[in-house]
Structure 1
Amino acid sequence: MSTIVSAIISLTLQGQKLSQKQKIAAMEKVTFQRENLKLVGNLYFPKNFNPEEKYPAVIVGGSLTSVKEQMAATYAAKMALKGIVALAFDYSHYGESEGLPRQFEDPQNKLRDMKAAVSFLESLPYVEGIGALGICTSGGNVAYLAENDSRVKAIATVAAWLPNEATLPLLYGGEDNLEELRETGKKAKEVYLEMGDNQMVLAYSNTDKTASHFGPMEYYMDNNRGGGISAWKNSFSLMSWEPWLGFDPTSKAKNIKAPTMIIHSDGSALPDNAKQFYADLGGEKELVWLEGYHFDFYDQEKKVNEAANNAGRFFKAHIN
């Protein structure tokens, strides 16, 4: 199956006319503040956008270490083509957004980033209501957001990464190895605070077992797919281990009241956790169980379209 990354990279700026044949959303680079940090995003506009009208809007985020030009761009463009204003942005510490140390993963930082993104969309006069769409890791991040921010009217997840305390030992080699990783993170933080040295390992690798995530990682290893996005860095700050291993989006489900759509498959990460997350949701909800491998939902057109069609339908029904 062909990828759609190359098409997304060729997006045009707001105000330029787009042919029906192109089927590419108009886009404008934007900046907004989170406390003292500048965050950078790309804002995608529906066809025939009229700033005098009102539109539903969503923030869109992708996988661990990803940047806005990867799966966030893919889905934001799809949402725009469905009449939804969509913001794909770089979390702090990644891509074009500010934040030190670089490549630092912290779910609480990302929660603050998402709240700032919601505030930015809320400030736009043509936005009538706001939702959040998370792919892979950001599926868990939007769970944090929905639990904490009542401004979010609906959320949807695609192939979400939804770990919990019970699955962590299975994912990271047992309790002893988990404790070793946490200690590695603590020591790396001490080195950074004392010497300013941000120690890194590869984020993903098919061959290097020191990578934070080792295994079949074809999306990231393929220069025709995610690995070819120049803004992305295949790096993971060792300081991230402690906050990253505390990431527990499944515990948030029972507190989420906003309408929620879970889009998943047996071939996506932690399918049993996705089903449990769905069962625990306290509000209106919809489960869409598709076929497909986890990385297919990042950039393979058939799977992306299936997921985006469902998410777009859900957002149009619930954001107002």
Structure 2
Amino acid sequence: MSTQHKVTFPSGEATLTGNLFLPDGETRAPGIVVAGTWTSVKEMMADRYAERLADRGYAALSFDFTGFGESEGEPRDVEDPARKVRDIHHAVTFLAAHPSVDADRLGALGICAAAMYMADNAAHDPRVGALALVAPWLHDAVICEAAYGGADAVSQKIKLAREARARFTRTGEVEVVPVVSATDERAAMPYAIDFYLNPARGGIPAWPNRFAVMAWEDWLTYDSIALAPLITQPTQLVHGADAAVPDGARRFHAGLAGPRDILWTDGTQFDFYDQEPQVTLAVDTVAAHFGRTLR
């Protein structure tokens, strides 16, 4: 069992809010920073994984990134990879200083898009001793073109992003579209996804379903595959052939510089967020990985 504690910590000029899950009866447990999908808030999937890890003996921190959820920061709802990597770095700093955490045993878990950001931080942060990625969305230019309708479609999104950024610079207005919509073709994901639209799953009041149009350029030009050769920490991936961009996971895994393993299992991308048996299988695999490597 575990206990949940509301915490805050600084990241740049913003104060971030998180949930620290601590295992019962443990002192100075290994610490794991956990984060989830693009645009998500901690309650959608990061809390679930952090609590499960705490039940298995880890001090696990989930948190809202700058400009999302309960955390401070402007502009809001901007999927900014560099800002998110910075937030992860500060989350590791907070966790390392906590009296219930063993600062010599720190790990990182990224789910979906946070796999890219956790990988980026791990590539440059020697305090992170082990990395785990669940249903990882790992992309480069090739994968973005395949995922978003080709080079012309990607170029159009980048054009829209630059126009929205210029408008924000002039007026302070953040142009937003839905993250997910079955009816709005401007949505970042213009189709019905039950996880995001179902209030019993991820469609919760804390998540406003807003995507800042100016974020497209930084998202589409972010190369996470190139990070793999920089990562020497032991790395575990858990993914499904029917989940998102499996080719990215294969290429990233092949390029890792350190010890690596990948578990292929059944399930769609969204099953790994909140469905069984995918969540338990992923948590057990990740916990075992941290148990072997954070000694």
User: TM-score scaled by structure 2?
Assistant: 0.96
Report which stretch shifted further, 172-181 or 127-136.
Answer: 172-181
* Residue 264, structure 1, aligned to residue 239, structure 2: yes
Once the two structures are superposed, what CA deviation does each residue of 1:58-84 show, in whole Å capped at 9, x if it has no partner?
A: 000000110011110010011000000
Displacement of 1:174 in angstroms is 1.7
CA contact (8 A) 1:265 1:289 kept: yes
1:274 corresponds in structure 2 to 249
State the distance in 1 between where 2:283 and 2:75 align. Answer: 33
* Secondary structure, aligned partner of 2:109: strand
Structure 1 Cα separation of the partners of residues 140 and 169 of structure 2: 30
Q: Relative to structure 2, which stretch is displaced further, 67-76 or 244-253?
A: 244-253
Provide the residue aligned with 2:170 in structure 1. 194
Structure 2 match to 1:317? 292
The answer to whether the 8 A contact 2:31-2:96 is kept is no
* 1:277 to partner: Cα distance: 1.0
Asked if residue 298 in structure 1 is aligned to residue 276 in structure 2, the reply is no
For residue 216 of structure 1, report the CA deviation from its aligned partner.
Answer: 4.1
C-alpha deviation, 1:181, in angstroms: 1.0
Measured against aligned partners, the alpha-carbon deviations of 1:197-250 in whole angstroms (never above 9, x if no partner) come to 1110001123321101123411001111101x2211100011101111122211
1:74 to 35, 39, 48: 48
Counterpart in the other structure of 1:206? 182
Match of 2:59 among 80, 85, 99: 85
Match of 1:39 among 12, 16, 38: 16
Matches for 1:113-262 after TM superposition, within 5 Å? 113-128=87-102, 129-227=105-203, 229-262=204-237
Identity %: 39
Structure 1 segments (4+ residues) deviating >4 Å: none
- Alpha-carbon distance in 2 for matches of 1:210, 1:93: 22
Q: How many residues align?
A: 293
> Structure 2 CA distance, aligned partners of 1:222 and 1:127?
36
Q: Deviations over 1:266-320 (max 9, x none)?
A: 1111112211111111101111111111100000132100000000111122124
How far the C-alpha of 1:126 sits from its partner, in A, is 2.7
Structure 2: which 5+ runs fail to align?
none
Asked if 1:106 is matched to 2:80, the reply is yes
The corresponding residue for 1:20 is none
One-letter amino acid of the structure 2 residue matched with residue 268 of structure 1: A
CA distance in 1, matches of 2:189, 2:128: 31
Report the Cα distance in structure 2 between the residues aligned to 1:125 and 1:83, rounded to whole angstroms: 15
Does the CA-based 8 Å contact 2:236-2:286 persist in structure 1?
yes
| Equivalent position SS for 1:70 | coil
1:170 Cα offset (Å): 1.6
Query: Which runs of 5 or more residues in structure 1 are unaligned?
Result: 1-22
The aligned amino acid for 1:306 is: L
Q: Given that residues 55 and 83 in structure 1 are in contact (C-alpha distance below 8 angstroms), is that contact kept between their aligned partners in structure 2?
A: yes
Question: Residue type of the partner of 2:47?
Answer: A
Residue 15 of structure 1: aligned partner: none
Q: Secondary structure at the match of 1:33?
A: strand
TM superposition shift of 1:48:
2.5
Distance 2:22 2:10 in 1: 21
Residue identity matched to 2:232: K
Look up the equivalent residue of 1:175 and give its one-letter code.
A
Between the aligned partners of 2:143 and 2:50, the Cα distance in structure 1 is 30
Aligned residues: CA RMSD: 1.1
Q: For 1:177, give the aligned amino acid.
A: A
Residue type of the partner of 2:11?
R
**Does 2:35 align with 1:58?**
no
List per-residue Cα deviations over 1:72-102 (Å, max 9, x = no partner): 0010011000000000000111101111111
* Residue of structure 2 equivalent to 1:8: none
CA contact under 8 A between 1:65 and 1:233: conserved in structure 2?
no
Shift of 1:263: 0.4
